[in-house]
Amino acid sequence: MPSFYGLGTKDMVLAISYIILVGLTIVYRWSAVEFIIAIVAVTLAFFAGSMKKDKRISDQEKHHD
């Protein structure tokens, strides 16, 4: 799949979520503070979801099987 200015699929999903947040802000007339809180929450969730598992957690899951 060709990239758009060097951005990957995950980056485009994050960009689309930001666009959706802008739309929600306009439609529901959120304040700037609410918009910033939503952006920070989405960004934290995005980066937390792409983090690697800790080796200790992976080892514990293997021993429970």
pLDDT at res. 14: 92
Whether the pTM exceeds 0.85: the reply is no
Q: Which two tokens stand for residue 50?
A: 């792409």
CB-facing half-sphere around the CA of 5: CA atoms within 13 A: 3
Q: Which two tokens stand for residue 48?
A: 């937390």
Q: pLDDT for 11-54, tens place per residue? A: 899 999 999 999 999 999 999 999 999 999 999 999 888 777 66
Q: Which two tokens stand for residue 5?
A: 């200015």
Question: Does residue 52 contact residue 44 with C-beta atoms inside 8 Å?
Answer: no
Measured CA to CA, the distance from residue 57 to residue 63 in angstroms comes to 10
